[in-house]
Amino acid sequence: MALRNIVLENDPLLRKTSRPVDEITPRIIKLLDDMAETMYYDNRGIGLAAPQVGVLRRVFVIDVGDDHGLLEFINPEIIEADGEQEYQEGCLSVPGKTAKVCRPAKVKIKAQNRNGEEFELEADGLLAVCICHENDHLNGILFTDKAVDGKIYYAEEEE
Ligand code: GNR
Ligand code: NI
């Protein structure tokens, strides 16, 4: 396992659309392992999408600290979305900024795990927020694009 560098806001990579994973190779497995390590290392992030480490593939990892533990998503698709919730979001690629974003209250997501098996997961609360935030990364969208009233909050300068 290894830490990967996190790509920051101004990098055009974050604005690209990621491509599906067609074969789960050892390279993809290492990517998943490295992403989890990087997510846990970096200020207890609760999610990380592959484009954030410079890899334009449809992969993300999430651990919101609930009973699910570490969740890995390959070629995810949000297949149902219901209701609305507002949450103050942040992003490891956008340090020092937060914004309120309106997301679905509940989502159903379909994806593959690292063994290539398809699974479905229903989520609400923070897990639903995080799934939508990570899924946006795969489409070149940042949470700041969706800030309620376009309002960005500046946190304390980091480091
Ligand atoms: O660590 C993260 N925290 C977070 C808080 C509120 C809403 C979304 C997130 S995701 C973010 C990690 C990240 O940037 N994932 O892409
Ligand atoms: Ni993010």
* Ligand 2 ion: nearby residues, β-carbon < 5 Å: 91
Q: Are 134 and 92 in contact (CB under 8 A)?
A: no
Q: Tens digit of pLDDT for each residue in 93-109?
A: 999 999 999 999 999 99
CA–CA separation, 128 and 136 (whole Å): 12
Which residue from 43, 130, 153 has its CB within 8 A of the most atoms of ligand 1, so it is best to mutate? 130
Question: What pTM was estimated for this model as a whole?
Answer: 0.97
**Residue closest by Cα to atom 4 of ligand 1:** 90
Q: What confidence score (pLDDT) does residue 158 get?
A: 46
Q: Tens digit of pLDDT for each residue in 18-77?
A: 999 999 999 999 999 999 999 999 767 999 999 999 999 999 999 999 999 999 999 999
CATH number of 12-154: 3.90.45.10
CA–CA separation, 58 and 71 (whole Å): 14
